[in-house]
Amino acid sequence: MVCKTITEALAGIHDGATLMVGGFGLVGIPENLILGLRETGVKNLTVISNNCGVDDWGLGILLQNRQIKKMISSYVGENKEFERQYLSGELEVELVPQGTLAERIRAGGAGIPAFYTPAGVGTPIADGRETREFDGKEYLLERGLKADFSLVKAWRGDGLGNLQYRRTARNFNPMMAAAGSVTIAEVEILAGVGELDPEQIHTPSIYVQRIICCDNHEKRIERRTVRKGA
């Protein structure tokens, strides 16, 4: 379904929902959908995302607004409010190795309930959890991840919901699109049905329930680093 407004696109997201939110740092984040979530005021959200944005952008906006109850992430730097809420006990955090997080999401989208990985064995991540030996090596059991809603960002999409990502914005977005019960895609360009090359579609329309084209896309950089001149 092509949505005309952010409110329409976000309809049904409720207090206590589990969300997957695409992006890596500030690249490929569905910034307009995140801003819209702030306006809805929904709270007690469990958010699965690589990180939690920065203090004043991305998921950091929802964090400041006290809308996130739990984060499942692989990186938690660049955000002082995240640190403050975690240390004060206001925010529950589940840290997951980045490759494991990606595979847990992919598994959830593929209908795989669990898998074994060597990542985390012998560390506090494995404390009290099931491990098993394969070919003389120990592996840790990890559960697949699914969400009530997945919010993703794509470069182009069509009216059916087929999506194309551009460069590094093709990070967690494709696997999250497959792992949400309802996937909402924010796109920069809405193409006509049949205009996208079938060989270049990264997320097929079967995974996308709602799509919205947004004109405003503020592509921030987390930390600008430049090389000094000779």
Greater model confidence, 176 or 1: 176
Residue 139 lies in a domain: yes
What is the spatial distance between Cα 165 and Cα 175, in angstroms, rounded to a whole number? 12
Q: Is residue 17 part of a domain?
A: yes
The domain that holds 154 is classified in CATH as: 3.40.1080.10
Q: What angle do CA 100, 17, 177 make, to 5 degrees?
A: 50
* 111 falls within a domain: yes
| Cα-trace Rg, the chain | 18
Which pLDDT does position 56 carry in this prediction?
A: 82
Is residue 229 included in any domain, yes or no?
no
Looking at per-residue pLDDT, the higher value among 26 and 222 belongs to: 26
Beta bridge partners of 186: 153, 212
Residue range 1-11, pLDDT digits in tens: 899 999 999 99
Does 230 fall in a domain?
no
What is the extent of the structural domain holding 101?
6-120+129-213
Instruction: State the total domains in the chain.
Output: 1
Q: Is residue 1 part of a domain?
A: no
pTM of the model: 0.89
Residue 98 lies in a domain: yes
136 within domain boundaries: yes
